[in-house]
Amino acid sequence: MNPLKLYHFPLSGHAHRVQLMLSLLKLPVEVIFVDLAKGAHKQADFLAINPFGQVPVIDDNGVVLADSNAILVYLAQKYGQGRWLPMDPVGAARVQRWLSVAAGPLHAGPATARLITVFGASHNAEDVIARSHSLLKVIDHELSNSAYLAGDTPTIADIAGYSYIAHAPEGNVSLQDYAHVRAWLARVEALPGFVGMPRTVVGLQKEA
């Protein structure tokens, strides 16, 4: 089997979700660097692959897919051997709930807070940080009842949530008050095949 191609930018949490999933599945990968800083994702050749002009994109021997959460679903169903995405209605719905959180509140909170400090995005930091803590309080409470987001075994829900929560301090969002979240991050990081995202020394990360 030819290596799966991953169009990737190292500081993108969305791209890291897919990189992490591929590593956990131990799949051979050819990583193709897309230089977002130079606008490579808005050039015609890349837009032909993903008209939305975003990373990640995968090319699995001719199957081309964009959107990190959609890619996680594909990888889990094709290569996960039933481990990463439950097929029963309740289990599948629990995972979908967290994929929606990853695309909604997580993106609007910790991911956007990090955009401000790492990439200079113009958002109201106070509002974004407040949204982040509102979300983290809910997640911390949920994790007081289970080891992982969707139950007692890891799923793609955890992979979708990990990157931006783990890197929330870069956006001046402290994880200090969320013991269950920090324990969950450690469990994800202990999974065989885990690979991290590079940390940028900004925000609270400067003090870590």
Q: What is the pLDDT of residues 88-105, one digit of tens each?
A: 999 999 999 999 999 999
Per-residue pLDDT, 201? 66
Q: What is the pLDDT of residues 178-204, one digit of tens each?
A: 999 999 999 999 999 999 999 886 677
Per-residue pLDDT, 149? 98
Fold of 89-207: Glutathione S-transferase Yfyf (Class Pi); Chain A, domain 2 (1.20.1050)
Query: How many CA atoms lie within 13 Å of 75's alpha carbon, on the beta-carbon side?
Result: 34
The domain ranges of the chain are 4-79, 89-207
Which is it for strands 4-8 and 57-60: parallel, antiparallel or unpaired?
antiparallel
Per-residue pLDDT, 173? 96
For residue 28, give both structure tokens: 């051979």
Q: Which of the residues in the chain have pLDDT under 50?
A: none
pTM, full prediction: 0.93
Say whether 89-207 and 4-79 share the same fold: no
- Tell me the H-state helices in 41-111: 44-47, 68-79, 89-103, 105-106
Per-residue pLDDT, 92? 97
CATH class belonging to 4-79: alpha beta
Is the bond leading into 105 cis (omega within 30 degrees of zero)?
no
